[in-house]
A = this chain, B = another copy of it.
Amino acid sequence: MRSSTNFNMADAVALLTRTPASLHALLGGLPDIWVRRNEGPDTWSVYDILGHLIHAERADWMPRMRTILESGETRPFDPFDRFAQLRQDQSRPLEQLLDEFASLRKESLATLQALHLRDEDLTRRGRHPALGVVTLSELLSTWAVHDLNHLHQLSRVMAYQYRDAVGPFKAYLGVLHCKGHSAS
């Protein structure tokens, strides 16, 4: 399945499959300085990012895919709450979040496989409440890039904790000069 862009189902699934184990290997058991601190007021910690990935896994990708397949453009997607995780119980250990994310991702990918999407399904259209018409392959591509978006963000949030500790080396560390580009 390859569309006119670079989208390919097997490539996307290969990436989506690997994210949970990669996050687990990076973050499991890490000291709080890396996972509980953020970049200042109204920014997210790694812990918050994990909560967001969990919420997206429940409320964004598969539900929106179903909306496209069942209602096409006639029913807009339900809006997604980007801040839902900030209202969750903050006392759960990060390891629980990592496990929950892994288990939800596994379910999502099993559901995706069970849909047996065909090439022609990839061009089916839905309606995003703000962005307008999007296709199924754009939604699937975004699911994969969304993982990378938050890997990009969490590496920056973690690096920020050592922004002074690196001293003059800061000049060579691009991640410490990243401003976050709004959504990331």
* A23, A28, A132, A174 — most chain B CB neighbours (10 Å): A174
Quote the shortest CB–CB distance from A151 to chain B (angstroms): 4
C-alpha gap A173/B133 in the complex (Å): 17
The A1-58 residues at the B interface (CB cut-off 8 A) are: 3, 5-8, 10-11, 14-15, 18-19, 21-31, 33-34
5 A-B contacts (beta carbon < 8 Å): A22-B22, A138-B166, A142-B166, A142-B167, A146-B173
Residues of A within 8 A of B (CB): 3, 5-8, 10-11, 14-15, 18-19, 21-31, 33-34, 128, 131-135, 137-139, 141-142, 144-146, 148-149, 151-153, 155-156, 158-159, 161-162, 164-169, 171-178, 180-184
Kindly list 17 other residue pairs between chains A and B, CB separation below 8 angstroms, not including A3-B165, A18-B25: A5-B164, A18-B28, A21-B26, A24-B25, A132-B168, A134-B167, A135-B167, A145-B166, A148-B159, A149-B159, A149-B173, A152-B159, A152-B174, A152-B175, A173-B183, A174-B182, A175-B184
